[in-house]
Amino acid sequence: MAVAIFPNSSYFIAFGGSPVFFEEIRLASLRHQARIYACRSQSEFLEALSIVNSPTGLFFDGIDLSEKDLAVCAIESTELKFSPLCLITEKGREDFNANKQARTKVLAKNANSEAWRTAIDEFMMSLVPPKLDQIILDSTNSIVPRFLPGLKTFKSVSYIMEHPDYVLGFSISAGDVIGQFRAWVKWDEICKMLPDLPRNRSGDKVLDLLKESMNTCAGLIVQAILRIHPDCKMRIGLPTGFDLLKVPKIESIKYFPSAHILEEGGRLGISLGFIDLNHRPIFDLSAYSKVEPEGDIEFL
Amino acid sequence: MSDKNRPPEPHFDDYVPIETVSLREGSTLNFDLYLFLPRNEKVVRWLRAGVVFGPLHTQKLQQVGNPQLFVSKDQVAAYEACKAEARKALGSAGNVTIIKGTAPEKSSVIVKGTTPIKIFGRAIEKEAEKAPVIKKDQSGAPAPRIKVDVDFINVAIAAIRSVFLSICKTELTLQSPKPRTATSTAPFPVNIASFVDLNSGTIRGTVGLCFPGLTYLNLLSAATGLSFSQLNDNIALGAGEFMYHIFSAARPGLAAVGYSIDRAVPFLVMGEDISVRQILPERGFNFLINSASGQFQFEIGIKTGV
């Protein structure tokens, strides 16, 4: 496995042997836009740990880890004080869990695809600050249908919308905290709601409407966060749009643990996540409560 | 020590870049001097107040390419007093050392061709002849700029050159910057590109590095010492790494000339023939870059005054 070293990029490491596990890891990397370094042998695992200096998480299939492996994991999780460690192993490791502050999810022997999928999704969602999904939901439901009246309400989901063909992205910054806002779009479905506008994918009209709605939505989200943390100086960047039919691959070099919402008709999804570049805990959003927007549509 | 009890790490925004530091050899520093480490994005104290600045310090700075120096905001007054004294002495004494930071110098401006290129109505060649005039606010920090101009471009160029020189050991030749237009495209098919958002109180935008597949593979091989023959997901992250290094290298220099850009994380895209025309804001510049590994393009798309 020849892999160049990319020290500023965030990875997960998956280590195991069963095909079911690796298929679910592959699918999870797509669902969550996470880069998962998959290791099928002990030597590959050790190589991965030597290359990936800050794993965002670790997944283990039902393999009896040696003490040496665990020692390496312990160093990664405690000495380097990086992000949460997730052990998924049929044998559990209660001592390790208790002593090394790792979070362990124990699955049954020969766990099936669904069990793996649920465990991985739950782990990914556990990295997201509580109530972030509620902030996104409230902001989106209150403003986006006013731009796109044909849309149904949005609901929380565990991962990124499937099969989008356009994506709009905004970066959000607040000192060391960086946010990634992505709106996933099924272009033709959105165009059907706007019969008076030209459907050209590179045209301005539909895109402008989407940009304005998402910009306003992101603005409401930032306002909600600023109500809880008024000193965080959070602001939104300019949108960047990608036609996924022409640019099928888009990826950040860092993993943003994100909350995801999806319109009930499956036509528009939004993902938003934050990271702290100094590896400090992300802000606490548990004090959030919904505030109705005042007046007419507010262009932020 | 738990994370809770750990004192906050020094933050880049708490320091004021020194445009030109005047330090007299043999004089005692009455402020702390700091360095910014772009690779780690950390500010570290280099010399404490009370240290006698000597020829060895000058030599050390010269050995590492005279990096940008910083003082903390609460010691700006002490630094200004020291600078005033050094300037007085400059005319008479022979023991004054002027240490220039990495803020753009005249020699770093890369403008070829005979026709002045106008960027937002300002002739870049004319601007390039002058040393940057940086307005200061009350704390001594550069006043925020609301237009991207030649100073911004110089810092970007210097960062691009130094990153590819240090990582890939590759010298770059940059062609004249060209204003972006609604129809401008790269003169080659772009297969992989990385972007980073520019966000500040005064300007917003995106910068991009656009590579043909073969050029990218060659540069990555030069950077890693490994041989790559095919562009794939495993190695695509390198494009983001290149951008990350350029952004980290440029940020302190940009702050020194009044562009206080927020931290950001690059992202990358891959495709058969990516058109970045619609991705970035229309206003801005394109640079065509030649290297031993092939041609690539650096793009700056900006919206100012927001």
Of B233, B238, B303, nearest to A238 by CB-CB distance is B303
Instruction: Identify the pLDDT of residue A214.
Output: 94
Q: Do strands B69-72 and B15-17 pair parallel, antiparallel, or not at all (unpaired)?
A: antiparallel
User: Does B235 score more than 80 pLDDT?
Assistant: yes
A249 and B220 in contact by Cβ < 8 A?
A: no
> What pLDDT score was predicted for residue A130?
93
pLDDT of residue A104: 60
CB contact under 8 A, B224 and A4: yes
- Decide which of B260 and A69 is more confident: B260
Per-residue pLDDT reduced to its tens digit, A155-185:
999 999 999 999 999 999 998 999 999 999 9
A208/chain B closest Cα distance in angstroms: 12
Residues with Cβ within 8 Å of residue B17, at least 6 apart in sequence: B68, B69, B70, B101, B103, B141, B142, B252, B253, B255, B256
pLDDT for the residue A16: 76
pLDDT of residue B91: 47
Q: Which of A8, A246, A278 sits opposite B241 (nearest CB)?
A: A8
Chain A touched by B85 (CB under 8 Å): no
Q: Which residues of A touch B228 (CB under 8 A)?
A: 4
Of A180, A238, A250, nearest to B204 by CB-CB distance is A238
Q: Which is nearest to A124 in space by CA: A83, A155, A76?
A: A83
- The per-residue pLDDT for range B33-79, each reduced to its tens digit, is 887 665 455 667 778 787 777 777 777 776 666 666 778 878 878 87
Q: What's the rounded mean pLDDT across residues B219-248?
A: 89
Question: A240: which chain B residues are within 8 Å (Cβ-Cβ)?
Answer: 195, 197, 206, 279-280
Arithmetic mean of pLDDT over chain A: 80
For an interface test with B, give the residue of A238, A244, A278, A280 to mutate (most B CBs within 10 A): A238
* Range name among A204-218, B78-92, B219-233, B258-272 with the lowest pLDDT average: B78-92
Where does the pLDDT of residue B251 fall: very low under 50, low under 70, confident under 90, or very high at 90 and above?
Answer: very high
| Minimal CA separation from A109 to chain B, in Å | 31
Residue A29: the pLDDT is: 92
pLDDT in the model for residue B146: 59
Q: Which residues of A touch B244 (CB under 8 A)?
A: 8, 253
What pLDDT does B152 receive? 85
| pLDDT band, very low/low/confident/very high, at B163 (cuts 50, 70, 90) | very high
pLDDT for res B134: 59
Yes or no, beta carbons of B241 and A241 under 8 Å apart: no
pLDDT band at B301 (very low <50, low <70, confident <90, very high): confident
The pLDDT, as a whole number, for residue B88 is 65
Report which of A164, A172, A158 is spatially closest to residue A244, judged by C-alpha positions.
A164
Q: Which of residues 245-284 of B touch A (CB under 8 A)?
A: 262-272, 274-275, 278-281
What crossing angle do the helices spanning A67-74 and A42-51 adopt, rounded to 10°? 10
Secondary structure of chain B in the HEC alphabet? CCCCCCCCCCCHHHEEECCEEEEECCCECCCCEEEEECCCCEEEEEECCCCECCHHHHHHHHHCCCCCEEEEHHHHHHHHHHHHHHHHHHCCCCCEEEEECCCCCHHHCCCCCCCCCEECCEEHHHHHHCCCCCCECCCCCECCCCCCCHHHHHHHHHHHHHHHHHHHCCCCEECCCEECCCCCCCCCCCCEEEEEEEECCCEEEEEEEEECHHHHHHHHHHHHCCCCCCCCHHHHHHHHHHHHHHHHHHHHHHHHCCCCCCCCCCEEEECCCCCCCCCCCCCEEEEEEEECCEEEEEEEEEEECC
Strand partners, A262: A155, A269
- Report the pLDDT value the prediction gives residue A122, as an integer from 0 to 100: 87
**Helices A113-126/A19-31 angle, 10° precision:** 40
Measure in Å the smallest separation between the Cα of B269 and chain A Cα atoms. 4
Which chain B residue lies closest to A255 (C-alpha atoms)?
Answer: B265
Task: Give backbone dihedrals phi and psi of B10, rounded to 5 degrees, phi first.
Answer: -55, 140
| Single pTM value for the model | 0.73
DSSP secondary structure letters along chain A: ------TTS--EEEE---HHHHHHHHHHHHHTT--EEEE-SHHHHHHHHHH-SS-SEEEE-S----HHHHHHHHIIIIIS--S--EEE-TT--HHHHHHH--EEE---TT--HHHHHHHHHHHHHHTSPTTHHHHHHHHHHHHHHHHSTT---EEEESSPPSS-SEEEEEEEEETTEEEEEEEEE-HHHHHHT-TTS---TT-SHHHHHHHHHHHHHHHHHHHHHHHH-TTS--EE---EEEETTT--EEEESS---EEEEEETTSSEEEEEEEEETT-PPPPP-TT----PPPSS----
Per residue in B192-205, pLDDT tens? Answer: 999 999 888 778 88
- CB-based contact B268 A3, cutoff 8 Å: no
pLDDT at residue B118 is higher than 60: no
Interface of A with B (CB under 8 A): 2-9, 35, 81, 169, 171, 173, 175-176, 178, 180, 202, 235-238, 240-242, 246-254, 275, 277-278, 280-281
Chain-chain contact of B235 with A253 (C-beta, under 8 angstroms): no
Confidence (pLDDT) at B22:
59
Most confident of B18-32, B116-130, B282-296: B282-296
Least confident of A64-68, B115-119, B167-171: B115-119
Candidates B120, B306, B304, B300; CA nearest to B197 is B300
- What is the pLDDT, as a whole number, of residue B48? 78
Shortest alpha-carbon distance between residue B150 and chain A (Å): 22
Task: Judge whether B236 is closer than 8 Å to chain A, CB to CB.
Answer: yes
Chain A residue closest in CA terms to B196: A171
pLDDT at B124 over 60: no
Q: Which residues of A touch B270 (CB under 8 A)?
A: 247-249
CB contact under 8 A, B240 and A35: no
pLDDT, position B162: 93
The question of ipTM being above 0.90 is answered as no
Q: How far is CA A182 from CA A11, A46, A168, A172, in A?
A: 20, 34, 6, 11
Extract the residue ranges of chain A whose pLDDT is less than 50: 1-2, 74, 77-83, 91-102, 295-300
Mean pLDDT rounded to a whole number for chain B: 72
Q: Of residues A77 and B306, which shows the higher confidence score?
A: A77
Asked if B220's CB is within 8 angstroms of A4's CB, the reply is yes
For residue B23, give how far its alpha carbon lies from the nearest alpha carbon of chain A (Å).
Answer: 32
